[in-house]
Structure 1
Amino acid sequence: MRILLVEDNLSLAESLAALLRQSGYAVDMVQDGATAETLAAAVDFDLVILDLNLPKMDGLDVLRKMRARRNSAPVMILTARGSPEERVRGLDLGADDYLIKPFDIGEFEARIRSILRRQAGLRSSVVSFGPLEFDLIARSFSASGLPLELPARERDLLELLMLRAGKVVARESIIASLTTLDADLSSNAVEQYVSRLRKRLAELGLTVRTARGIGYFLDRVHE
């Protein structure tokens, strides 16, 4: 999952980015509204965490421009501007959540999980496919009740496929979700991760199938 974190307080931004990366999210961090608006127009993010008091462009203007372009990426506003009028304004402009500083880190993480769960159309925090389970809270996999340890990129790829089980995930979406500004990902690298994942899933009776020219999807191995 790729997150755009827009926060001009460098200390807070670095702390939140470290927390999110430790949880396995790919994070791009910017500190002004103009850069955020440009980046949001160019990249498909799974979530945008948006401060309002930003240099160069106010956060609400960033949100307004995103929605005017029909950019449906979920947005969590994270701000000290907590008056009822500000909250109503932000939500009416298309924010999915509004968290006021100072905030509890546990609540911050829970709200992110809730947004991503709604975005994927899920009601439960545990996603199942055959013997495989993914826990959105722990961001961990298990198979038949036993932990399934995966390298970071393979885990992130499997998460994307699990959250869209039954649907083809476009190659471009995979590259966008697993890439950050300081860690590029090539199409060939995606194929390598898919190949490794197939080997790991084979003993579970699962595989990653290729939709030629489009992308990949999680499937059962048919006898």
Structure 2
Amino acid sequence: MTITESQKVEIAENGFTTVNNIYTDEEIEQILWAINHANQTKETFRKSADLFAIRQFLKEIPEMRNLVFNEKLNNIMVQILGDKYFVVKSIYFDKPETSNWYVAYHQDLTISVDKKIELENFGPWTAKQNQFAVQPPIHILENNFTIRIHLDDTDENNGALRVIPQSHLKKVYRPETIDWTTEIETTCVVNKGGIMIMKPLILHSSSRTTNNKKRRVIHIEFSNQELPTALKWAERMN
């Protein structure tokens, strides 16, 4: 699987690109089977009428590593990331057909770490279910990448991400300061079995589902940055 030069440029300049046909229907069924047969009583599993999510996804379902990192994805990762990047976060989202779950425009400004300690230029901190997150120095976020694996056809009617191209180049960009006279919104349509590659600093949002179709996504973040000695990535995986 080869990614085009225009897609590489799109990631650098606009902050995102999409690549279809990474997973076959059979591969997706294997992924979904493993999810459905996992122990869902753990505190990293969150289930409600509007959302089913699994945090630390690759750690909680170890067999997922071989299923997710198939030959096509590995080839694309080498072309985009090289060999210096490693996994630092993984989440599974299942947005049900009747979901009214809406996410306003935001940047992904935090990273998942193993504990809370006082460090210069790290903060603010949050903690959910014994999982710690912190906003790191901006250079860490600028170098990170996110890959979103789509297990369903996803468009504007079932919560496809909407992004503001080039917003990842503006460091911390508060949603309340968006100038809609100059910014242009783009909806990232991705076919089942495709992926979206994005920079975490790109402003993005997600609408409510209106077409009674699922949107299941695996979200994996990558970094090539080492943290201060006293702090560790919560989910580091080479």
Larger Rg: 1
Please classify the TM superposition score into its range, dividing by the shorter chain length. under 0.3
Question: Which protein has greater RCO, CA pairs closer than 8 Å, 6+ apart?
Answer: 2
Q: TM-score, normalised by structure 1?
A: 0.24
Q: TM-score, normalised by structure 2?
A: 0.23
